[in-house]
Chains A and B, each alone.
Chain A
Amino acid sequence: MSDLAAATKTHFPLLARDVYGKQIVYLDSAATSQKPQVVLDAMDAYYRTANANVHRGAYHIADIATQAMEEARAKLQHFIGAASPREIIFCRNATEAVNLVAHSWGRSNLREGDAVLLTHMEHHANIVPWHMLAAERGIELRWLPLDDDGRLDLRHLDRLLDGVRLVAFSAMSNVLGTIPPIRRIADAAHERGAVVLLDGAQYVPHVPTDVTELGCDFLAFSGHKMCGPTGIGVLWGREKLLEAMPPFMGGGEMILNVTTEGFLPNELPWKFEAGTPAIAEVVGLGAAVDYLRGIGMEAVRRHDTSLTAYALRTLTERHGDVLTIHGPPEPAARGGVLSFEYGDVHAHDISQVLDTHAVCVRAGHHCAKPLMRCLGVVATARASVYIYNDTADIDQLSEALDRVGDLFGPQ
């Protein structure tokens, strides 16, 4: 298990730094992953040797920049098994991708009385855009509940799907790590004629992804959680759906022609990419995809799963009943995201104490307040792993948790 981390840890310059004189233990990759040297180099090289605006200018470096961008698009296409590069829309992040669907597909397809089905484990990015649309269009939002182990409760799926035009749900919870039965939900939705949007922000960086196997119609994900830079993400959509959708934002690059009377939108994918894109970030994300493919996504998933199993086992053994870990107990049913409570100590205090041991975890509601309410908590602490974490990181976390007990335990 630790073999992968032993090989990859040295690829990430930040992981060599210390914090307060201690080796950093980075356990917050669900928030953002660290970046390997190859990604930093690719972006640096782009700026040093090929910086020019894309899809305009007939000079040499403009051509190189345009090619670099479109090559990266093709890499993303193959990474998720998409049929065509026209289906890969670059946007800022998964949040913008969901907003694009809500704004463009939602406004042209949803009418008053239509329903959108979400789940109780959604990130705010897959809740608020639909609240905004509901307020504007009078659509109904419905919610798939969770069972006591943090799995989606699908017993009433058929009833809930009645009148639903869109099912939008997370492929991996950013709080519980839960991986729902994606294909089953997608098939049930399609039987009712509904469209399926997957929030893949946590899933795509960690699990081999093939949009055909998943059976979804849209997939949203961010580059910065998969070794890529911030500010770049992807919306994948079925070409037929994307073709029928109106543009999202207006501006340069997204047009074929503009007159004083109106405009003619560009072809896919540029129709949805108004303005100068984040070219260096696209190049960086392309390098991140190369890096992950070099490791192999099956190997990434195996590593995550066995490290998660180790964490669940050792943390429970050492801390017993004081520690509550949310989410499905079987590592195979979840990703490497562990939300936990330590006694009645608030997550912010846990994280503060862990920080003095150079252990970085997230504390708060994780942009999932409806889920926090379901769990009956205001906040949790969350440790999340990736390819560069090993059992020693988990041991450090476990040891540092003892200090939380020392400070806040019963007096």
Chain B
Amino acid sequence: MPGLEDLYREIVLDHYRNPRNRGELPCPPATRAEGFNPLCGDEVVVYTDLADGVVRDVRVGGQGCSISQSTASMMSVAVKGRSLEEVEKLERSFKAMMSIVTDGGEVAPPVDLGDLEALRGVVKFPVRIKCATLCWNTLTESLRDQP
């Protein structure tokens, strides 16, 4: 049995208890997207402010389990100030860590995931992978909706 310590690493619980970049951004200029996990009712709201192809600011709202909310917090830290290209690399790399193959199976780029590395253990709990990827899908949606 995978141990709970694989899932609930201290850094994960820290982001859950003290979420970073929590809040809202005025839309426009920012865009807003909502994501739902129909399985457990988790909700994530992502606001992104994009300028010249760079994520100038990001805010996260919503409510849900420790994995969905801590991932959203870590993701917000990871993507803030990054170019769209870098954000895409982060997402692919993170999803590869969750054993989700994107873009026809090519190997995910080696990217420093920072705090997000702490979520590596989630892959041992298949039911929770959706919790960890919810905010990434929502982020993608909010970036796609940019004017």
Do A and B form a real pair? yes
Chain A residues within 8 Å of B, Cβ to Cβ = 20-21, 346-349, 352-353, 356, 363-365, 369, 372, 378-379, 407-408, 411
Interface check B61, CB cutoff 8 A: no
Q: Are B131 and A348 in contact (CB under 8 A)?
A: yes
Q: A348-B131, A407-B8 are in contact. Are A372 and B125 (CB under 8 A)?
A: no
Q: Are B41 and A364 in contact (CB under 8 A)?
A: yes
Which of B3, B41, B43, B65 is the one whose CB lies under 8 Å from A349?
B65
Apart from A352-B128, A369-B41, what 11 extra A-B contacts exist at CB < 8 Å?
A346-B65, A346-B66, A347-B40, A348-B65, A348-B67, A353-B4, A356-B4, A363-B40, A379-B40, A379-B41, A407-B4
Q: Are B43 and A378 in contact (CB under 8 A)?
A: yes
B64: shortest Cβ distance to chain A, in Å? 6
Q: Are B64 and A378 in contact (CB under 8 A)?
A: yes
Q: How far is the CA of A364 from the CA of B131 in the complex (A)?
A: 12
Chain B residues within 8 Å of A, Cβ to Cβ = 1, 3-4, 7-8, 13, 17, 39-43, 63-67, 125, 128, 131
Q: Are A348 and B40 in contact (CB under 8 A)?
A: yes
A365 nearest CB neighbor, chain B only: B41
Q: How far is the CA of A331 from the CA of B7 in the complex (A)?
A: 37
* Residues of B with C-beta under 8 A to A349: 8, 65-67
Q: Are B4 and A346 in contact (CB under 8 A)?
A: no
A81: shortest Cβ distance to chain B, in Å? 37
Q: Are B40 and A365 in contact (CB under 8 A)?
A: yes
B69 nearest CB neighbor, chain A only: A346
* Residues of B with C-beta under 8 A to A346: 40, 64-66
Q: Are A352 and B41 in contact (CB under 8 A)?
A: no
Q: How far is the CA of A20 from the CA of B1 in the complex (A)?
A: 6
B99: shortest Cβ distance to chain A, in Å? 19
Q: How far is the CA of A356 from the CA of B5 in the complex (A)?
A: 11
* Residues of A with C-beta under 8 A to B13: 408
* Residues of B with C-beta under 8 A to A353: 4
Q: List 23 A-B contacts (CB under 8 A).
A: A20-B1, A346-B40, A346-B64, A346-B66, A347-B40, A348-B40, A348-B42, A348-B67, A348-B131, A349-B65, A349-B67, A352-B4, A352-B125, A353-B4, A356-B1, A356-B3, A364-B40, A365-B41, A378-B41, A378-B64, A379-B64, A407-B4, A411-B17
Which of B7, B42, B67 is the one whose CB lies under 8 Å from A378?
B42
Q: How far is the CA of A346 from the CA of B1 in the complex (A)?
A: 22
Q: How far is the CA of A78 from the CA of B137 in the complex (A)?
A: 52
* Residues of B with C-beta under 8 A to A364: 39-41
Q: How far is the CA of A346 from the CA of B43 in the complex (A)?
A: 12
Of all A-B residue pairs in the complex, the 4 with the closest CB atoms, nearest first, are A348-B65, A346-B65, A365-B41, A20-B1
